Amino acid sequence: MSPSATSTGVANGTNGHNPKLEFEIYHNVINNDLTNTAKTRHNINPATTEPNPEVPVSTQEDVDKAVAAARAAFKPWSNTTLEERGAKLVAYADAIESYKHEFAKLLTAEQGKPLAQSYQEIGMATTWLRAFSTMTIPDETIEDTEERRIVLRYVPLGIVAGLIPWNFPILLAVGKIAPAVITANTLILKPSPFAPYCNLKLAELGIHFFPPGVLQVLSGEEDLGPMFTTHPDIDKIAFTGSIATGKKVMAAAAPTLKRVTLELGGNDPAIICDDVDVEAIIPKVNPTFPC
C-alpha cells in the first residue's frame, strides 16, 4: 500500500494549521497518495557534490494512473466556484510561505542558485498564486440583438500536463499550477530530471488543499515527457524549456490535437554601444532577473 498523507497523521492544511511536510524522503503524488517506484535515481548537490535523496522514476503505468485520477477529479472540480478555488490558492500560497526556509535550502541544493535567489523565487511564486486567486473569468457578449444573443464563455479544458524546466522549478511550476487550478482544470506536473525535488514537495503540500486528482506530480527520466505529450487522454500540454524540445512537444501533441502552450528559451540580443552609461543601462536591459 502506498503511503498516504491522511494515514500518517498529517494536519489538514484547511483547518487553520500548517500541514506537516518532511524534506528527507521524496515520493510521487498520485490521487493524493504518496507513491513509490521500483526504480529510483538521485541528483548531485552542486555546492557540495554530495548525492541528494532518491526520487521516483515513473513508468507508463504511473502516468496512466495519474491521468485516470485526474479525469475522475475533473468533473467535480470543474463544478466548484471561482471563489472556492481562489481561496484554496491563497491557503496554498500561505503554506508554501510557511516552509520558505526549507524550500529555499532545497532549491539551492538541487539547482545550485545562491540562497538569496532561492528566497526571491519563492516570494515570486507565492505572489503569482495570490494574484491568480483574484482572477475573474467573465462571459463576453459578442452580439446582443433582437434576433440573437451570442455569448463567449470560457470553460475548463480537462487534464493539463505541466512540463517544468530546471532553472526556476518552483516559480515555473506555480506558473502552471495557479492558472490550471483557478480555471478548474486538473494538473499533473512533470519536473525536469535535473531538478525534481521542489516539484515533488509542492505537490505533496498540495494534498492538504486540493481534492484527490487535482494536483499530482510524477518524476522520472528523459523518457517520461513523451508519455505525457502522446497520451490520448491529456487535453493540454504546458511546456517551458528549450526551442528544440518545444518542437518535439508540439510534434508529439499533434496526432491527438492537444492544446499546447510553449514558453521557449532563446537568445535575445541587446546591442549596447560604447557611449552609454553601463551602470544605468544594465537594469533596463535586465530588469527582472539578477545577473
- Compute the mean pLDDT over every residue in the chain, rounded to the nearest whole number: 92
The answer on pLDDT for 290 being more than 60 is no
**Closest to 205 measured CA to CA, from 34, 3, 76:** 34
Q: What residues does 217 pair with on adjacent strands?
A: 29, 189
Band of pLDDT at residue 144, cut at 50, 70 and 90: very high
The answer on pLDDT for 13 being more than 60 is no
Tell me the chain's radius of gyration from C-alpha atoms: 20
Q: Give buried/exposed letters for 94-132 (b at 16+ CB in 10 A, else e).
A: ebbbebeeebbebbbbbbbbeeebbbbbbeebbebbbeb
The pTM of this model reads 0.87
- Largest interatomic CA distance in the chain: 72
- Around Cβ 16, how many Cβ atoms within 10 Å? 8
The answer on pLDDT for 135 being more than 80 is yes
Band of pLDDT at residue 17, cut at 50, 70 and 90: low
Q: How far apart (Å, rounded) are the C-alpha atoms in residues 240 and 242? A: 7
Q: What is the pLDDT of residue 139?
A: 93
How do beta strands 33-35 and 28-30 pair?
antiparallel
AA identity, residue 177: I
Among 71-85, 191-205, 255-269, the range scoring the smallest mean pLDDT is: 255-269
Cell readout for 218 is: 510524477
**Closest to 108 measured CA to CA, from 47, 193, 53, 172:** 47
Dihedral pair phi/psi, residue 109, rounded to 5°: -70, -30
DSSP 8-state assignment for residue 130: H
Q: Give buried/exposed letters for 26-55 (b at 16+ CB in 10 A, else e).
A: bbbbbbbbbbebeeeeebeeeeeeeebbeb
Band of pLDDT at residue 134, cut at 50, 70 and 90: very high
DSSP 8-state assignment for residue 38: S
Q: What is the pLDDT of residue 265?
A: 83
